[in-house]
Structure 1
Amino acid sequence: MKITLLLAFWSCLFISFAQDKIQIKEKGTLESIPFVKIIPVGKPAMLADLDGFFTLDLSQVTAFQLKFLGYKDTTILVSELGEQREIFLQPLSEMLDEVTVLPGENPAHRIINQVIENRKKNSPTENNAFQYQSYSKFYFTMDPTALESIPSDTEDSTLKSLKSFFDSQYLFLLESSSTRKFMPPSRDKETITAYKVSGFSDPMFSTFANEMQSFSFYENQFNLLGKTYINPIAFGGTRRYLFLLEDTTVVGNDTTFTISFRPRKGKNFDGLKGQLFINTNGFAIEKVISEPNEPSDNLSIKVIQEYAFIEGKKWFPVKLSSEMSMPIVELNAKLKNSSIIGKGNTYISDIILDPDLKKREFGSVTVETAPDANRKSDNDWDSTRFYELSNQEKKTYQVIDSISKEYKLEQKLVLLSALAEGKIPLGNFNLDLKRLLNFNLYEGYRVGLGLETSKKLLKRAVIGGYAGWANKDKEWKYGGFSEIYLLPKKEFNLRMTFQQDLVHRGGTVFRSTGNTFSTQDVFKQLYVNKMEKQRLAELMLSGYIFPSVKVAILGNYQRVELTQGYQYAFGNQQLTPAEPFDLAETSLEVQWQLREKVMQLGGKRVSLGSKFPKLALKITKSLPTLFEAQFDYIRAHVEITQSIPIRGVGKFTWMVNASKTEGNVPLFLLQAANGTGGNWRLSVVNTFETMLPASFFSDQQVSLFTRFTFLNWKTKYKWTAPQLSIHHAMGTGSMSNRMAHTEVFQTLEKGYYESGIILDKLFINGFSTFGLGVFTNYGAYSVPKFEKNLTFKLSLGFNI
């Protein structure tokens, strides 16, 4: 028995020594090519593994052929191979675009229908909980084809420098490692345990590699660089996509089908093209190569996902690769293809299916960085990396870190982050861009200046102030504030404010959101034409009591002065613009994004959004007995918004807002309908497009705004991509004490209704888009002549 075991052991040992291990790489880039089909003469075919390796007893064959979609078929003679154990395949410069489909059932469709039928069973995020470790590496460099084209004997000093630089290092390099736990259907938690970035320490880069693509190719909407594409294996895939069976390989008891896919001609949607490798074991994805069907002139991306059969249960992603190119960025105008490319891999290991996970291990924060993630030692990294750093990678860290230190790149990154928030850092202070120039119909043009302390001066607090003057009302406005960061991670802050400014008549402001910098909010402000003067002193405590629920408690005392000749009869008194009055209030604000996913990157909270509704609630109660405060009232306002993508069709957005004031109060404490008709002729979402501003007031009202935006029409021109939207809005309300107000306005008792259509992106200029819309109101507040109810508007947007 012992002799038999020894013979078996020696036999296996001899066989393993006899096998030659060979790796297949791409010529030029030297990247490994997984799943290449190897056909030895007189032997069964086989596939290379995830890293392009295969084993073959070269003494038993004279030649073998290598086949892979997108590369030239290559035949290797063993006699010419010698001691070389790396084989290089030449990419095809062109792929055939035209195909002929013969009558009869497409064999690829039968396979794809099986894949779609088994999609939920095979999806990593369905049915099974899991946990794993991952390691990611991503780098940027010059396109290797450009470097290869530089002659070795060139006399051009610039080309010499470029070749010397990129032969020895990369332009940028980052690494990260993480642990992830998942429990169906949606509990998810990933912790970035380590990250290292050449030249920077900010944790915002720690998730870079993971944000290139969706984790799995089974999702209906596949994400590439933040843009969603309809997945070819989503339901209805064979109606949208053309599939072609390119190759069939039998490995053991299983068969792998190579199937190419691309959108069908004439279909109008954001689609993908590439190849699927389908294994008959469960008709699951073994590998997928994919990229957008319509390449961009500015940025292109191609991704690869590779799967392995884990624990005899399920195919699971084990390697995610991304390759991006930026043709718009040329490093040398004389050198063809001298653009920047980026390449990266994420390796997934230590996969455990159905681990013993508890619900308490999860929350709304789905991604967070560990406190010591950027302070790992070299020994820690050596145990984390899948492969040892090359000399090129080591030098990248050394050189880019020194350049960053010399040119203070970290500080420049802080500048860019501040600009995204509407601020310009000026050493110890920040300049508030939102205060420089504004416009509304009441003030006209308002110019001003806002300054606040930066984190360079104060780490746990900020002190600021502003002043401004408007050309229409010819009045100065000013204010100041201080804010203490009590619990920065939860954004728990205590803020004290004093200002002499204006308040929108009939408007509601959520103080805990601050001044927003969005295009639509700027457009809304353009239409404000009724305001009151307000001197305000306020104290606010705000923060996240849960990762997706923000709460603010406020108390204020204010002195208000009516404007524009408006008067209000209050008991036996008549309030006029010449008679200021005092108010005291306490408020509660709640903002809740249902099932919101959040990243906590260091001290920065980053929302990943949610497909569920967002709720905002504000309740205000007056304190009429405090000092000289007047008026006893309760004011409530609620908004619910949601955006719902509809696969292959477009997006439906809706908003409901409702508000009510209990008590006899001036107009500025009631509810103004949100009208944006006339004047600027700009389309503003979630408003009454045909209603003149400040023309309707109520003490209780409810409004509904809906808009369905279809996918844009594909054209052969880059300057236009028309996109149709259908708008509808309605509102109703009442006013119980109308005669107390001298203002001329209407009420919503009879209901206000309007509809319209918008053609966006009729003209595209860089990042800006221009379109046209036409709207009409109907019902009790319309006029008999149809054309008099029409409102034509310009639609502005961004092309991102």
Structure 2
Amino acid sequence: MRLKFSFLIKLNVSLNPVVISQKYEIVFAEIIVNSLRKNITLKHFLSILFGLFSLVTIYGQNTIKGKVIDEKTKEALPFVNIIDNNNNGATTDIDGNFSIVSTKSINSLKFSYVGYQVAEINVSNQQYIVAKLTSTSYELNEFVLLPGENPAHRIINNVVANRKIHNPEKSLDFKYESYNKLYITGAVDTAILNNPEKISSLDTNNQKAIEFLEKHHLFLMESVTERKYMQPDKSYEKVLASRVSGLQNNTFSLIATEIQSFSFYEEMLTVMDNSYLNPISVNSSNKYFFLIEDTTFSGSDTVFVISFRPKKGKNFKGLKGLLYINTNGFAVQNVIAEPAQEEEGFGVKIQQQYEKIENSWFPVQLNTTILFKTAQINDFKMLGIGKSYLKNIEINPDLNKKEFGIITTEVADDVTKKDEAFWFKYRGDTLSEKEQATYHVIDSVGKAENFDKKITGLEALLTGKLKWGYVNLDLNRFVKYNDYEGFRLGAGLHTSSKVSKVFSIGGYAAYGTKDKTVKYGGDFNTIISKQSDIELNFSYQKDVVEPGVVQFNSYEKPLLSAASNRNFYLSRMNDNEKMEARFQFRTLRYLKVFLFANQEKVSVTNNYFYRNKIDDNTTLFVQDYTFAEVGAEFKYAFKQKVIQTLNYKYAKATKYPILYAKVEQGLNQADGDYEYTRFTFRTEKQFNIKNIGKPKFFIETGFIVGDAPIVKMNTSIGTFKPKNFLVATENAFETMLPYEFFSDRFASLHFRHNFGSLLLKIKKFAPEFVVTTSVGYGDLSKPQNHGGVVFKTMEKGFYESGIAINNILKANFSTFGVSAHYRYGPYQFKKASENFTVKMSLGYSF
């Protein structure tokens, strides 16, 4: 008994500082005495004691909850620093909510926030308050005089040193679920909203717009996703539910998770598909100016509020905003950021909030605010608000590599069929009246106006296929232009998933206004395994095909890219009849393989002939050829992410070069006249290097073993036609004549470096400077076998360089510029003026 009593005295001493009401002191003492009388063991006694201690502590706490908003706009203010009269600290979350706890009475709260007046509010006898802060004109002063080293640099350098530790995708396995909400409304100035006289002075349409916007959003979308991530780079995300006002189409299901980077620790940050240099990247203090604006506390840790923006005189794509750095690991706790230079089409601001989960800092909420400068409802610009809440976060869960396949993102089959119980589970609350009204009204409008059919047009641009009942129309078959056919008018279609999700049958027909010839073809495709990309295809075509160019079935030119301009220069075509069987599958995760067999009949349409020596006395000048081929094509895209929706599948860009290879074996069997082996290799990649710009290269090389007509040789692609209107291209020689060279062994390199607006940017005038260089080599082993047309070989090497100034003028979504190129080396023309070419550059801006 003495032992227990002495222990009790020690505990009483340790508990003395705790503030406990007199009533609970008596109850606490009675329980201890009863425990001693019943001779409870020390283990049981400690369990009771710690349980009671936690209850007593909770009872003795005082809690104030609330929300902080902008006095004028009524918008929630994230990451506001709050200190009570007992020096306890707290910070508002990303939605402006806060909760502050103290063991003593809370009588007042002090609020401080960069760009706002400090406010102190009496909160005696209150449990919930709404604090309104008044904004001040805030501009970061570039010429702040700091004695010695800028103290903010020490903090930022510590953050940079620890960024890989705190970057979840560099240090952790994890899984989580997220609830995402995106709505679009009108950006109406609060000075108008709060002034009935100003509203009444507006025209009728604007008054109706304000009345509508007070009760509804223009657009509302919700989604629920689950994501798993395993080191070093295995990721899988599934959209479990999606609801879009006015639509049943799930095309927008992935928008909320694609707007901004998941973490603020990457070297380059992505916001609305634009890349910006991270203020916490290596040597960022040479580019950014940092200033400690405030200091607060989070428990026993210090939180530094540091503003940042690009230094004057530094021209790069950067951000400005505030970093909240917690000294516990020097980790980012909160961040507010926006582009330092205004983008033309939109203004955007991002907010991220992190919490410490199982000793690891992890993002828990991502917000994005987008001002659409070119989209309006009457006189009011449209404003988009996106919020993502990460829930049920698990750090280093038990994951298996088999859970991750080539598809990194997909949409559940029942994505649009979840009930309200499901949504309530993830929302954590019911929708507001305004949000419910938005669904009700916009759904009605969407049904009346048939939004789902109209949105199909956007999907058609992404896939090149327009859904039309039981068929999909091939948009790329409608209208084309080249120098040989003139305008190529046609149509093409395939059966849609309404007919079958396993197979499709399709065909096309076209007519050239210049060559006055009808072309047509058809194919049958069946999907054996969607997950492994196993498909079987049979096709037939009677068309025209360019000689000397290897076609890769897996290579797709980017939509609306300068590389597509090369089609304007196609001036030599051969009649072609071809039957082919193709089997494709995926292996080694990132390798796609195509096995094929075909028979092809080619008739030359110009004066070219192939000398086919029969014997010493007989040589035929042949212009019609039959080829029988078997072969394989390979595409290796390391770490490429594939997105699968209900309607289509597409691959995202990878940061590694994509490798292509093709082997074609000509047979002198199955009516084939020529035996040869043709090897072709291709690769291309664009990089984004901070502070330097975007270098890009395209390399192609190949060779032929055996004899074949020139149609199976290689022509280094030239796009220069004197006295013609010229448009700049990519992955082609700008000063080379079309079909000027032919080779059976060749290599070509096209390099271009886009400095963007790094070299010059004056307010809204931001031309892009691009330097280019192209090098080619080729050789032909038996030039005597080819006749009828004049061409050169390229064994001495072909060289050209140029400079382009893009984005000089803009019209709607198109941009215009100018480029100049110079041909030099062994194959330059005698007249210096003939080696120069000036072209118009076309671009697209969305």
Q: TM-score, normalised by structure 1?
A: 0.91
Residues 1:259 and 2:306 aligned together: yes
Tell me by how many angstroms 1:42 deviates. Answer: 6.5
Distance 2:55 2:613 in 1: 107
Distance 2:378 2:562 in 1: 40
Tell me by how many angstroms 1:304 deviates. Answer: 0.7
Matches within 5 A, 1:620-769: 620-626=664-670, 628-678=671-721, 679-713=724-758, 717=762, 720-742=765-787, 743-769=789-815
- In the alignment, which of 503, 518, 526 is matched to residue 568 of structure 2? 526
Are the counterparts in 2 of residues 150 and 159 from structure 1 also a CA contact under 8 Å?
no
- In the alignment, which of 325, 330, 334 is matched to residue 278 of structure 1? 325
2:39 aligned partner:
none
Tell me by how many angstroms 1:24 deviates. Answer: 2.0
Are the counterparts in 2 of residues 268 and 713 from structure 1 also a CA contact under 8 Å?
yes
Tell me by how many angstroms 1:121 deviates. Answer: 1.9
Residues 1:315 and 2:361 aligned together: yes
- In the alignment, which of 272, 296, 303 is matched to residue 225 of structure 1? 272
Residues 1:476 and 2:518 aligned together: yes
- In the alignment, which of 129, 132, 152 is matched to residue 88 of structure 1? 132
Tell me by how many angstroms 1:195 deviates. Answer: 2.3
Please report the RMSD computed on the Cα atoms of aligned residues, expressed in angstroms: 3.0
Secondary structure of the 2:444 match is helix
Paired AA for residue 392 in structure 1: K
Change (3 A) 1:513 1:119: closer
Tell me by how many angstroms 1:258 deviates. Answer: 0.6
Are the counterparts in 2 of residues 260 and 275 from structure 1 also a CA contact under 8 Å?
yes
Distance 1:404 1:703 in 2: 52
Paired AA for residue 264 in structure 1: K
Tell me by how many angstroms 1:465 deviates. Answer: 3.8
Secondary structure of the 2:117 match is coil
- In the alignment, which of 655, 664, 686 is matched to residue 611 of structure 1? 655
Are the counterparts in 1 of residues 597 and 630 from structure 2 also a CA contact under 8 Å?
yes
1:249 aligned partner:
296
1:330 aligned partner:
376
Q: Deviations over 1:582-641 (max 9, x none)?
A: 222223222221211122223422322111111122222223221x33112222211011
Paired AA for residue 768 in structure 1: S
Tell me by how many angstroms 1:122 deviates. Answer: 1.9
Tell me by how many angstroms 1:576 deviates. Answer: 5.0
Tell me by how many angstroms 1:564 deviates. Answer: 1.3
Tell me by how many angstroms 1:484 deviates. Answer: 4.1
Are the counterparts in 1 of residues 535 and 585 from structure 2 also a CA contact under 8 Å?
yes
Residues 1:791 and 2:837 aligned together: yes
1:354 aligned partner:
396
Tell me by how many angstroms 1:8 deviates. Answer: 4.7
Are the counterparts in 2 of residues 697 and 746 from structure 1 also a CA contact under 8 Å?
yes
Paired AA for residue 377 in structure 1: D
Q: Deviations over 1:14-37 (max 9, x none)?
A: 434x43322223346655433322
- In the alignment, which of 477, 490, 496 is matched to residue 435 of structure 1? 477
Distance 1:518 1:360 in 2: 37
Matches within 5 A, 1:110-129: 110-129=154-173
Distance 1:746 1:475 in 2: 30
Change (3 A) 1:174 1:695: same
Q: Deviations over 1:629-666 (max 9, x none)?
A: 31122222110112222111111211221122222211
- In the alignment, which of 358, 372, 391 is matched to residue 433 of structure 2? 391
Distance 1:515 1:266 in 2: 38
Are the counterparts in 2 of residues 734 and 748 from structure 1 also a CA contact under 8 Å?
yes
- Deviation larger for 731-740 or 679-688: 679-688
Q: Deviations over 1:38-82 (max 9, x none)?
A: 244564554345552133679945543311113333232347x97
Tell me by how many angstroms 1:232 deviates. Answer: 0.6
Secondary structure of the 2:189 match is helix
Change (3 A) 1:366 1:30: farther
Q: Deviations over 1:406-426 (max 9, x none)?
A: 222112112321244445555
Distance 1:575 1:433 in 2: 43
Are the counterparts in 1 of residues 246 and 451 from structure 2 also a CA contact under 8 Å?
yes
Change (3 A) 1:552 1:9: closer
Q: Deviations over 1:521-544 (max 9, x none)?
A: 431122222221112233333454
Tell me by how many angstroms 1:746 deviates. Answer: 1.0
Are the counterparts in 2 of residues 429 and 451 from structure 1 also a CA contact under 8 Å?
no
- Deviation larger for 488-497 or 342-351: 488-497
Are the counterparts in 2 of residues 520 and 685 from structure 1 also a CA contact under 8 Å?
yes
Distance 2:509 2:239 in 1: 43
Distance 1:83 1:110 in 2: 40
Tell me by how many angstroms 1:295 deviates. Answer: 1.9
Paired AA for residue 756 in structure 2: L
Paired AA for residue 266 in structure 1: G
1:54 aligned partner:
99
1:567 aligned partner:
609
Secondary structure of the 2:688 match is strand
Are the counterparts in 2 of residues 365 and 547 from structure 1 also a CA contact under 8 Å?
no
Paired AA for residue 629 in structure 1: G
Structure of higher CA gyration radius: 2
Distance 1:386 1:297 in 2: 37
Change (3 A) 1:330 1:64: same
Change (3 A) 1:184 1:689: same
Distance 2:646 2:206 in 1: 41
Q: Deviations over 1:543-583 (max 9, x none)?
A: 54576433333332232212211111112265557x63322
Change (3 A) 1:527 1:310: same
Paired AA for residue 294 in structure 1: Q
1:540 aligned partner:
582
Paired AA for residue 255 in structure 2: F
Distance 1:158 1:58 in 2: 56
1:36 aligned partner:
80
Change (3 A) 1:329 1:28: farther
Secondary structure of the 2:158 match is helix
Q: Deviations over 1:487-520 (max 9, x none)?
A: 5566544443333221111111124557975433
Are the counterparts in 2 of residues 269 and 648 from structure 1 also a CA contact under 8 Å?
yes
Are the counterparts in 2 of residues 260 and 276 from structure 1 also a CA contact under 8 Å?
yes
Identity of matched residues, %:
34
Residues 1:25 and 2:69 aligned together: yes
Distance 1:86 1:517 in 2: 50
Tell me by how many angstroms 1:203 deviates. Answer: 3.2
Tell me by how many angstroms 1:716 deviates. Answer: 5.8
Q: Deviations over 1:750-780 (max 9, x none)?
A: 2222222222223333432223333233332
Residues 1:590 and 2:639 aligned together: no
Distance 1:126 1:82 in 2: 45
Secondary structure of the 2:78 match is coil
- Deviation larger for 450-459 or 746-755: 450-459
Tell me by how many angstroms 1:339 deviates. Answer: 2.1
Residues 1:448 and 2:489 aligned together: yes
Distance 1:364 1:77 in 2: 58
Secondary structure of the 2:254 match is coil
- Deviation larger for 752-761 or 420-429: 420-429
Tell me by how many angstroms 1:291 deviates. Answer: 0.6
Secondary structure of the 1:134 match is strand
Change (3 A) 1:283 1:250: same
- Deviation larger for 52-61 or 462-471: 52-61
Change (3 A) 1:574 1:140: farther
Tell me by how many angstroms 1:697 deviates. Answer: 0.7
Are the counterparts in 1 of residues 301 and 326 from structure 2 also a CA contact under 8 Å?
yes
Secondary structure of the 2:170 match is coil
Residues 1:184 and 2:231 aligned together: yes
Are the counterparts in 1 of residues 459 and 466 from structure 2 also a CA contact under 8 Å?
no
Paired AA for residue 184 in structure 2: F
Residues 1:66 and 2:111 aligned together: yes
